[in-house]
Amino acid sequence: MILEARDLTVRFGGVSALAGVSFQVAPGTVTSLIGPNGAGKTTAFNVITGFQRPTQGTVRHDGETITGWRAHRIAARGLVRTFQKTSVFGGLTVRENVLTGLHLRGRVGVAAALLARARVRAEEERLAGEADRVIDFVGLGARRDELASGLSYGDQRLLELAVALAAGPRLLLLDEPASGMTASEKATVAGLIGRIREQGVTVFLVEHDMRLVMGISDRVLVLNYGRLIADGDPAAVQRDPEVVRAYLGSGAHAHA
Amino acid sequence: MDQLLQHLLNGLLLGATYSLLGIGLTLVFGLMSVVNFAHGEFYTLGAYAAFAALMVASVHFFLAIPLAIVVGAAAGAVCERGLLRPLRGQSIDTVMLVMIGLWIAMQNAELLGWGGVAKSVPTPFPTQPLVLGPVSVAPLRVFVFVVSAALILGAHLLLARTKLGRAMRATFQDRETAALMGVSIERIHTVTFAFGAGLAAAAGALLGPVFLLYPSMGDLASLKAFSVVILGGLGNFAGAALGGLVLGVAEELGAGYVSSGYRDAVGFLMIVAVLLLRPSGLFARAERVG
Amino acid sequence: MRAVALLLGLAAAATAPFWVWNPYHLHTLIMAGIFAVLALSLNLLLGYTGQLSLGHAAFFGIGAYATALLTVKLEWSPWIGLLAAVVLPGLAGWVIGRLALKLRGAYFVLLTISFAGCVSLVSVNWMDLTNGPLGLPGVPALEIALPGLPSLSLRTKVAFYYVVLVAVVLAYLVCLALIRSRVGRALVALRENETLAASVGIDGTHYLVLAAVVSAAMAGFGGGLYAHYTRFVSPEVFLFTYTVTMVIMVVAGGKGTLAGPVVGAVLFTVLPEALRAATSWQWQMLLYGILLVAVLFFMPQGIVPALRQLGSGVRRRASAS
């Protein structure tokens, strides 16, 4: 198991954002986390990736307990996440964004930057090549030198994906990667996720678009009011009466 | 023991004015998210306005203070409309730097206008301290305390009981809804800032006679105001009120038992300590992160 | 085009003592150089990580006092003093950076102000160490003493001008080297989106501490230079005026660029001198305040970026016609 969550609980005030959530993610798979709005999906992501501390429970990655670790340390282990609200480095170009994402792939520190310019030059060349590869992979090659803040919404989300990929994830957590996208943009994202999986990266995603979720997932987890109410393959989950109730009850639709 | 009581009393008397300063800033910093580094300059403005009224216009002492408040509030309103409104939407850092620019400009304007020589303000109170058992207290300081407390009470009533106060609270809790309910957001911003400036000016007019007047008196006042705001939690009225008293007492104890030269360091150290240990303030309820 | 301007500028700077005849003007240029080092240091924090240090004069002052104390009280070599002027403030910067942890924005500013306030109070009150308000006179000049050669005292304005010029170039190169590397990208990431930065493995605290240390050390270096130039150090080095001047130089010059602080430093050292004949320093500071506000309103990026935009606009129009 590449990721193991046990008894995750997040409580503040009198509210439980997560209540005793346990699940496992197998390597090389695409797992989706779904549920009505406010079910705790982003909270789960935050806890797994170190952006929030759980009140109780543990998160284990590759056999090591990472609960409560700071976010950048968890990222350094290969767990990289994207954010629900579009998150890019607005004032930088697409290339600069991705270069920043390649931080973990570089090694130059202050000493080298000041005293070993040859090493810096070599690293910059290498990173530039890798950046180009990632930018081309997501299809933003034509916009390489444009400012991130000037990109269209769909392109910004692609850039977000590129930055996350640049960090070299072994487990990629995507928080609503297709939200607000047109049908063709969603198809692009689905295709990218497929290709990412082919490269051996495990994908764990939160999504609302059921067609997308059912189309690419090996496994689906369903959260409702902070509790895990279903865990299985897409077809089984779709038929699960409690899942249907959760969605209809909250007014949301189970079909995209 | 007597000395301790004396220090505590002095601290409380002084602290009430710090509370006044802090409340003005917490409203602006906490509600409007404006890092008003010029807050101390409205304090200085109030002090000099009262001085001018007394010495130049020969206004009666008890009238000089309300006059100073009006001057401070008016200056605040002008600043808000002229500087803050055009910048609405800009990053908080830009606004912060603009306030720093205002700080520099105002202080040096005071310096040019009044000169660098410290001035003392004559008061109608006898200098003979009142002796109340083990402690003694100057009548002026009692007056300052009473007025500060009254102003704090008045501010609280204004915020809690009046239509204007409700509109202010509504605007800063949920802007869109407040606008839909007919509140003029622009006007509320101006009023809130003017309110904060007016309170600072009041503190200046009150403390001016206690200490001396000099153009850079606002620097320390600013810092103490921030100290109080951080102690009490951003936007927390009651926290600021309590925080002011805590600062006053801490300063008096520090000056009395450690060293008077380092008196002002107390404010600095409090800022550092609170920022490090409990950034949301001593009196704020524990807030969730993330 | 830019390369030509740069070369001309460097040539002018290198030969300045030969065509700047008035020694007072040379003094102005020396002060401009010292401030350029200070502005570059503040720019590392403000321009690149996006955090404002309003206590930067404290690092300047600690550097000045470090070298003054070592050379006056212990009679050590001024070069050791300069080293201390770099190391001690750097240490202070480390403390600030570590204390700051998750503090950002206004809270970071308040931390730096409080720190500077405490340091200033110590310099005034701890008479045994610092002589209090009387200050430390008699700071020796820098001296190059190579074995076999007569020692060369760098006490003349011309000599010190070259020292400062070398210092500015050094400071500029250090900033350039950091910025044009993975380190620089991490700093900028802090400014642009710290949460996103953490998600790709950038440790915000580590890089803020780093920026604080380098920035403080550089400002301390400026302080050391100042001490060996004016040969007198007093608590006045902690005056808020210095910090304000640095801020204005960086913001008006162009934060986040490398040329901006240098241009700002020259502008705001030469300008006051030009004004000095006409007005007093209070008017000057008043003007600074107004200027800061005006720049933020009309040229928020600063002078250098504004000129660059103008230049590229002209080029575009020229190639279009």
Residue B183: its pLDDT value, please? 79
Q: Does C237 touch chain B (CB under 8 A)?
A: no
Q: Does B140 reside within a domain?
A: yes
Give me the amino acid identity at B8. L
* pLDDT confidence bin for B286, thresholds 50/70/90: very low
Give C99→chain B minimum CA distance, Å. Answer: 7
* pLDDT confidence bin for B290, thresholds 50/70/90: very low
Q: Does B156 reside within a domain?
A: yes
Residue B227: its pLDDT value, please? 86
Cβ <8 Å between C199 and A166:
no
Domain harbouring B234, CATH code: 1.10.3470
Q: Does B244 reside within a domain?
A: yes
> Nearest residue on chain B to A11, judged by CA atoms?
B288
What is the ipTM, given to two decimal places?
0.91
Top residue of C110, C126, C130, C255 to mutate, by most chain B CBs within 10 Å, is C110
Q: Does C285 reside within a domain?
A: no
Q: Does C270 reside within a domain?
A: no
Residue C321: its pLDDT value, please? 52
- The 3-class secondary structure across C93-123, one letter per residue, is HHHHHHHHCCCCCHHHHHHHHHHHHHHHHHH
Q: Does A254 reside within a domain?
A: no
Q: What are phi and psi of C146, to 5 degrees?
A: -95, 145
Run means of pLDDT, 10 residues per run, chain C, 321 residues: 78 82 86 95 90 89 93 88 94 89 79 87 84 85 75 81 93 94 94 93 93 95 94 86 86 89 91 73 81 87 85 70 52
> Nearest residue on chain C to A82, judged by CA atoms?
C199
Q: Which domain holds residue A151?
A: 3-249
In angstroms, the CA C163 to CA C82 distance is: 12
pLDDT at B221 over 80: yes
pLDDT at B248 over 60: yes
Question: What is the CA B281 to chain-centroid distance, rounded?
Answer: 17
Residue C1: its pLDDT value, please? 62
Q: Does A255 reside within a domain?
A: no
Residue B283: its pLDDT value, please? 58
Number of structural domains, chain C? Answer: 1
Give B258→chain C minimum CA distance, Å. Answer: 13
Tokens of B52: 């001018």
- Give exposure, A221-242, as e/b (b: 16+ Cβ within 10 Å): bbbbbbbbbbbeebeebbebee
Residue A249: its pLDDT value, please? 61
Positive or negative, the CA dihedral B16, B17, B23, B29 is negative
* pLDDT confidence bin for B210, thresholds 50/70/90: confident
Q: Does C321 reside within a domain?
A: no
Cβ <8 Å between B290 and A51:
yes
pTM over 0.90: no
Residue C214: its pLDDT value, please? 95
Q: Does A148 reside within a domain?
A: yes
In angstroms, the CA B119 to CA B128 distance is: 21
Tokens of A64: 């090591």
Chain B residues at the A interface, defined by Cβ less than 8 Å, are: 288-290
What is the CB neighbour count within 10 angstroms for residue C51? 25
Domain harbouring A137, CATH code: 3.40.50.300
Positive or negative, the CA dihedral C81, C83, C84, C86 is positive
Residue B285: its pLDDT value, please? 45
Q: Does C300 reside within a domain?
A: no
Q: Which domain holds residue B171?
A: 2-277
From the number of C-beta atoms within 10 Å of its C-beta (0-12, 13-18, 19+), residue B1 rates as exposed
Number of structural domains, chain B? Answer: 1
Q: Does A72 reside within a domain?
A: yes
Q: Which domain holds residue C90?
A: 22-240
> Nearest residue on chain B to A47, judged by CA atoms?
B290
Q: Does C292 reside within a domain?
A: no
Q: Does C155 reside within a domain?
A: yes
Contacts of C292 (CB under 8 A, 6+ apart): B97, B98, B100, B101, B104, C247, C248, C251, C252
* pLDDT confidence bin for B289, thresholds 50/70/90: very low
Q: Does A256 reside within a domain?
A: no
Q: Each residue's pLDDT tens digit in chain A (256 positions)?
A: 789 999 999 987 778 888 889 999 999 999 999 988 878 899 999 999 999 999 999 999 988 999 989 999 999 999 999 998 889 999 899 999 999 999 999 999 988 898 988 999 999 999 999 999 999 999 999 999 999 999 999 999 999 999 999 999 999 999 999 888 898 999 999 999 999 999 999 999 998 888 888 889 999 999 988 888 889 988 888 888 888 887 766 544 444 4
Residue C164: its pLDDT value, please? 93
pLDDT at B278 over 80: no
SS3 A1: coil
Residue B287: its pLDDT value, please? 34
